[in-house]
Amino acid sequence: MSTVTGFLTDSTLCIGCKACEVACKEWNDLGDDGLNWSGFSYDNTGALGHSTWRHVKFVEHAPELGHGGNSPELASWTFSSDVCKHCENAGCLEACPTGSIVRTEFGSVYVQPDICNGCSYCVVACPFGVIQRNKEDGRAFKCTFCYDRQKAGLTPACAHACPTESIKFGSLEELRVEANRRIEDLHDRGMHDAILYDPVDTSVGGLHAFFITRGDPRQYNLPPRPEIPTVYARQGWKSAAIGAGMLAVGTLLALLGGGKR
């Protein structure tokens, strides 16, 4: 009876409080990700990783007097809470050789820690750079979409802790409708650069955690055309067949031509 669930992260509502980061770390008992001063606005986390499953981005632009915040004229400072996208077609899931990464009944992509063997092939297969291998533990980790909480009928920790409902959790279908309504609303209010980041027209086939951002998604480190890399495997195997053919035929010809020596 479970429905496919999703996250809608609305950066026009985010206040950059990082409650989601804290809640995620506390609930999932994740380690620290270093006490480093990045100098990149107020973001000292940098990126998602094996111990960072929610990450608030601080997208800072050149300040301009009279503009700022969520003024329609200029987004001088926007925040966006990043998370595993739980792709409709997931690169990590396709690449995983152990079957550790599975699709759950909630439609999310889940790494079973008791099966992951730490081959780290998912790390290079993720088009968003989300999943990472913990070098001490050896295995790969990423957002579980709070599979444990969802099993118990609870909302994920980050969405629960979000004070502005910037992180919305619910049925994927309903969230998609809501996201489009929200975009229309923002456009009506003059924020014409508000977009919904959900690459449905690539091999990823859409996300289960999509984002409303303002301006070019590339400044949020969101790729314009993410592709799941395993779609290139067919092409690769074709060249492998050519390479193997060359190897076999070449060896045979040389040995036939070389005679007994």
Interface of this chain with other proteins, residues 199 to 258, rule: CB under 8 A: 215-216, 218-221, 223-227, 229-230, 232-233, 235-237, 239-244, 246-248, 250-252, 254-258
Nearest to other proteins of 41, 171 (CB atom): 41
Helices (H) and strands (E) in the chain, counts: 7, 10
Give the H/E segment covering residue 60.
Answer: strand 54-60
What is the smallest separation between the CB atom of 123 and other proteins, expressed in angstroms? 5
Which position among 98, 165, 181, 192 is part of the footprint of other proteins (CB under 8 A)?
98
What does DSSP assign to residue 232? G
Contact status: 102 vs other proteins (CB under 8 A): no
Pick the closest to residue 56 from 83, 75, 88, 74 (CA basis): 83
Contacts to other proteins from residues 132-171, by CB under 8 A: 132-133, 135, 138
Spatial separation of the C-alpha atoms in residues 259 and 206, rounded to whole Å:
59
Burial of 202: CB neighbours in 10 Å, binned 0-12, 13-18, 19+: middle
What is the smallest separation between the CB atom of 101 and other proteins, expressed in angstroms? 10
Which position among 118, 147, 155, 178 is part of the footprint of other proteins (CB under 8 A)?
118
Inter-residue contact 167 to 9 (CB < 8 Å): yes
Contact status: 177 vs other proteins (CB under 8 A): no
Residue 20 CB: number of other CB atoms within 10 A? 27
- Judged by CB under 8 A, the number of residues near other proteins is 79
Nearest to other proteins of 170, 206 (CB atom): 206
- 125-54-86 Cα angle (round to 5): 45
What is the smallest separation between the CB atom of 5 and other proteins, expressed in angstroms? 25
Which of these ranges, 58-66, 144-152, 155-163, 187-195, lies near other proteins under the rule CB under 8 A? Answer: 58-66
Residue 104 CB: number of other CB atoms within 10 A? 17
What is the smallest separation between the CB atom of 185 and other proteins, expressed in angstroms? 25
What does DSSP assign to residue 180? H
Pick the closest to residue 1 from 125, 105, 143 (CA basis): 105
Which of these ranges, 16-24, 122-130, 173-181, 193-201, lies near other proteins under the rule CB under 8 A? Answer: 122-130
Contact status: 62 vs other proteins (CB under 8 A): yes
Contacts to other proteins from residues 24-53, by CB under 8 A: 38-41, 43, 46-47, 49
Which position among 15, 115, 177, 200 is part of the footprint of other proteins (CB under 8 A)?
115
- For 181, the token pair is 């309504």
Nearest to other proteins of 15, 240 (CB atom): 240
Paired strand residues for 107: none
